[in-house]
Amino acid sequence: IARKAWDLFAGAMEQGAERQLESYKFVLERNPAPEFMFNGFGPFTVERKELRSQIITVAQSTGFGWERTVHISGSKASGKTTLLRLVGEDLLKAGKTVYYFENSRDLNGILPAIRDHDKELSERIFFLVDETQANTGSSPFTFLLKSAKNIVMIGAGIPDYGASSEGFSMRLQTSKLFITRQELEKEGIVDYFAGGNASNVEQVSALVFHIHKDCGGHVYPLMRLSELLVPAILGEGASAEDCINTYDSHGFRNSREFGEVCRRILPDVGKYDLIKLFRGDQDQVAVNRLERAGFCDSSGRII
């Protein structure tokens, strides 16, 4: 009787895990992340088609699933989640089965279903796992990174050096996510802010290029700061120089909006002096904090 009861209980648990896994199937939709909408930026999507193609080429190449894992490592608000979801869209359009987990903790509790799924599969499927830093070293990660044969994990998160992000076969650094000057036009960013009006392009591009240079191509401050300043050109007839002077002014740098941008993107380095780091002074504790926050490349160079 006890064995029968246990079998019934185990069967119910297994079915529950299977249903839970199915609830994570990815669907096509273009809804901007709520936090971006709250901060004012969201309608425009940086497509990054070449980068998406690179990721998918690795993920679909021959070999076991665990050999083809990819991690999108990036600092806060650098476009990791958007890129991950765009990759999912491409895979769905190619007829692939895709699951999306908003947080890596969502994998907890469904490891048996994941293992069973992997055994039964006759073709490769894809797990998109966001916020990988939230669940480093967990059993599901260990399985997907070391044992899965037919499930390929594509993860995104703030890099946690020495933890799970290093176990991925391919890892994109933060610098890969930063927008280059050429991409400002190639991705249609300047046209987006110019509002389709050719007469505005010259002044808008001068302003956006200035902001791009100042923030190094980090996508969130680039888009958010442009959004705050471009309307003066479109609606008030201001010049790019006027807007740049506003941008550099004490008043703007002390505004609530500018403060929100800084709080959203800057790493927590505590009492450590970043100026010394950029001048070349070595403070290994501070460097390590920047690495974990995604502000260093694989060689330890501060981005």
Residues 73 and 219 placed together within one structural domain of the fold? no
- Does a structural domain hold residue 129? yes
Comparison of pLDDT for 130 and 279, the residue scoring more: 130
Residues 42 and 116 placed together within one structural domain of the fold? yes
Residues 58 and 192 placed together within one structural domain of the fold? no
Q: How confident is the model at residue 175 (pLDDT cuts 50, 70, 90)?
A: confident
For the stretch 275-300, pLDDT in tens is: 555 555 556 666 666 666 666 655 55
Residue 40 in this model has a pLDDT that exceeds 50: no
Q: What is the CATH number of the domain that holds 155?
A: 3.40.50.300
Give, in order, the Cα–Cα distances in Å from 294 to each of 13, 38, 156. 38, 24, 12
Residues 46 and 74 placed together within one structural domain of the fold? yes
**Domain enclosing residue 156, as ranges:** 2-177
First to last CA, the chain: 64
Encoding tokens for residue 175? Answer: 């610098």
Determine the pLDDT at residue 266: 72
Residues 72 and 152 placed together within one structural domain of the fold? yes
Residue 170 in this model has a pLDDT that exceeds 70: yes
Q: Which of 159, 177, 195 is the last residue before a domain boundary?
A: 177
For the stretch 193-221, pLDDT in tens is: 998 888 899 999 999 999 999 888 888 89
In order, the DSSP letters of the chain are: -HHHHHHHHHHHHHHHHHHHHHTTB--------HHHHHTT--S-----HHHHHHHHHHHHSSS-GGGG-EEEE--TTSSHHHHHHHHHHHHHHTT--EEEESSGGGGTT-HHHHHHHHHH-SS-EEEEE--GGGGTT-HHHHHHHHT-SSEEEEEEE---TTSGGGGSSEEE-HHHHSPPHHHHHHTTHHHHHHTT-GGGHHHHHHHHHHHHHHHTT-HHHHHHHHHHHTHHHHHH---HHHHHHHHHSHHHHTSHHHHHHHHHH----TT--HHHHHTT---HHHHHHHHHTT-B-TT--B-
**How many domains does the structure of the chain reveal?**
2
- Does a structural domain hold residue 76? yes
Determine the pLDDT at residue 26: 83
Residue 245 in this model has a pLDDT that exceeds 80: yes
Q: Which of 154, 177, 200 is the last residue before a domain boundary?
A: 177
For the stretch 140-169, pLDDT in tens is: 888 999 999 999 999 998 876 444 555 788
Spatial distance between the Cα atoms of 290 and 182, rounded to a whole number of angstroms: 27
Determine the pLDDT at residue 9: 42
Q: Mean pLDDT, to the nearest integer, of 68-74? A: 90
Spatial distance between the Cα atoms of 133 and 154, rounded to a whole number of angstroms: 13
Q: Is the dihedral of CA 263, 267, 271, 272 positive or negative?
A: negative
Mean pLDDT for all residues in the chain: 81
Residues 60 and 134 placed together within one structural domain of the fold? yes
Planar angle of CA 99, 101, 105, nearest 5 degrees: 140
Hunting for tokens 């007469």 — which residue is that? 199
Residues 210 and 244 placed together within one structural domain of the fold? yes
- Does a structural domain hold residue 286? no
Would you mind telling me the total number of residues written for the chain in this entry? 303
- Does a structural domain hold residue 278? no
Comparison of pLDDT for 1 and 294, the residue scoring more: 294
Residues 32 and 58 placed together within one structural domain of the fold? yes
Residue 120's identity, in one-letter code, is: E
Planar angle of CA 87, 212, 51, nearest 5 degrees: 20
Q: Which of 161, 177, 193 is the last residue before a domain boundary?
A: 177
Residues 200 and 144 placed together within one structural domain of the fold? no
Residues 39 and 166 placed together within one structural domain of the fold? yes
- Does a structural domain hold residue 284? no
- Does a structural domain hold residue 144? yes
- Does a structural domain hold residue 302? no
Residues 148 and 217 placed together within one structural domain of the fold? no
Encoding tokens for residue 253? Answer: 């740098």
Q: Mean pLDDT, to the nearest integer, of 63-86? A: 90
Residues 161 and 187 placed together within one structural domain of the fold? no
- Does a structural domain hold residue 69? yes
